[in-house]
Amino acid sequence: MAKTILTNQTKQLGTELINMFLRFIFVGALFVVNFLALSISLQCNRDKGAFQKIFVGLYAFLFGFIYLFVNYYSYRVMTLGEPCQIDTNEIFPL
């Protein structure tokens, strides 16, 4: 009679570790998207005042997907036809 290598406890632990790993990947991807939205918002509002930069930057960071798809892509690129010029040397201009 062969012993079982994986017990229920080991399977449960493996499932929990995979679940935790996927959560960390999701949170990491969310931060990347939010920082991308923050960078794009600061690039687009480079010549605006400090208050507007702070307000738009905060909105872009908190609502990354919404900012990127609604405000930037749908409004600025598709409606106005004015995509922002992205400076690769200074990704967060203040």
Q: For 16-59, what is each residue's pLDDT tens digit?
A: 999 999 999 999 999 999 999 999 898 888 888 889 989 999 99
Cα torsion for 48, 52, 55, 58, to the nearest 10°? Answer: 10
Indicate if the alpha-carbon torsion angle 79, 59, 33, 86 is positive or negative.
positive
Q: Residue 78 CB: number of other CB atoms within 10 A? A: 10
Reply yes or no on whether the pLDDT at 94 is more than 70. yes
pLDDT at 1: 47
